[in-house]
Amino acid sequence: SGLLKSVKFKSKDNSKYNLIIICTGSNSHLVKTLFNDQSFEYSYGEVSITTAVKHSFIKNNVARQIFLNNEILALLPISNTKTSIVWSVKKDIMNKYKNKNNLFLKKRIKFYTKYFLKKVKFVTGIEYKNLNLLIRKKYYQDRVLLFGDALHVVHPLAGQGFNMVLRDLASLERILKNKINLGLDIGGSEILSEVSNETQPRNFIYSLGIDFLKNCFSFQQKSLKDFRNKIITTLNKNNFVKDILFNLADKGFKF
Ligand SMILES: Cc1cc2nc3c(=O)[nH]c(=O)nc-3n(C[C@H](O)[C@H](O)[C@H](O)COP(=O)(O)OP(=O)(O)OC[C@H]3O[C@@H](n4cnc5c(N)ncnc54)[C@H](O)[C@@H]3O)c2cc1C
């Protein structure tokens, strides 16, 4: 909520604490203050519109993306009668939408999803978020480890942001367990550097990969769009490539 503006450590005596993990998200004043905002960041010039809807019973086990002109609308199953909607829209288009009310946006969502969802009812309000790419250069310092979106933020088109966080968590858990078993100091720079060395390179490549994908879906030129669509159609027919891509989305990179 931004209530905590800064943290001062009374003592660096590690009998008081070994490790502090900061997971206050991407827009945290705390992180910016402590880490001097050492990051690579740029705005996609887009806003995400998110909400959840109830609908008639369907076998809801497939996530879908509807690629519109300059907009992507994702349907992410929650249950057979509930779906989460993530719709990314260019800021200039969003400004036009903003002059209208939420009812207008709800009507658009119903219109776009009508082939998949019937009898749609909105069960949460509509939320907005600016969409950015963020890659933090430094993962830790002085017994403080950054975590989650504080480290990396990607475009939601691939639905991979939290998956990256979970992979980091698996690495962190394994490394810390191992060090605790050996009786080592878990906040020491050697251990934090091990966590960082394992997670940072793969997060870097993964973030750039998603950014590349996002840029491919932002092509405006017809020839580029046609070329992209041809590649997607070809890849879609190739089960070997599809398996590789599913595996990448599921498990990430392994070096
Ligand atoms: C539109 C959209 C759709 C997405 N869809 C997907 C998806 O389908 N799949 C997927 O894997 N990922 C998705 N993501 C990414 C996912 O939401 C994030 O990666 C994930 O929420 C990151 O979790 P986090 O805990 O690091 O940060 P956050 O979720 O941002 O949580 C940080 C928390 O810290 C709190 N906080 C901040 N400052 C302070 C402070 N000083 N003191 C106390 N508390 C503080 C904040 O209020 C917040 O509650 C999506 C993201 C967006 C924007």
Reported ipTM: 0.97
Q: How far is the CA of 25 from the centre of ligand 1 (A)?
A: 5
> Which numbered atom of ligand 1 lies nearest the CA of 154?
15
Binding-site residues, ligand 1, Cβ < 6 A: 1-4, 23-25, 28, 30, 48, 50, 76, 86, 129, 148-149, 156, 159-163, 165
| pLDDT reading at 77 higher than 70 | yes
Ligand 1: nearest atom to the Cα of 4: 41
Q: Is it true that domain 43-130 has CATH number 3.30.9.10?
A: yes
Residue 111 to residues 104, 116, 146, 234: CA-CA distances in angstroms?
11, 10, 41, 29
Instruction: State residue 12's pLDDT score.
Output: 55
Task: Give the pLDDT confidence of 224-237 residue by residue, as tens digits.
Answer: 888 888 888 888 88
- Return the residue whose CA atom lies nearest to atom 47 of ligand 1: 1
Q: How far is CA 184 from CA 16, 87, 173, 241, in A?
A: 15, 46, 14, 43
pLDDT tier, 163 (very low <50, low <70, confident <90, very high otherwise): very high
Q: Which of 136, 149, 166 to mutate to test the pocket of ligand 1 (most atoms within 8 A of CB)?
A: 149
Domain ranges of the chain: 43-130
**What's the pLDDT band for 247 if we cut at 50, 70, 90?**
confident
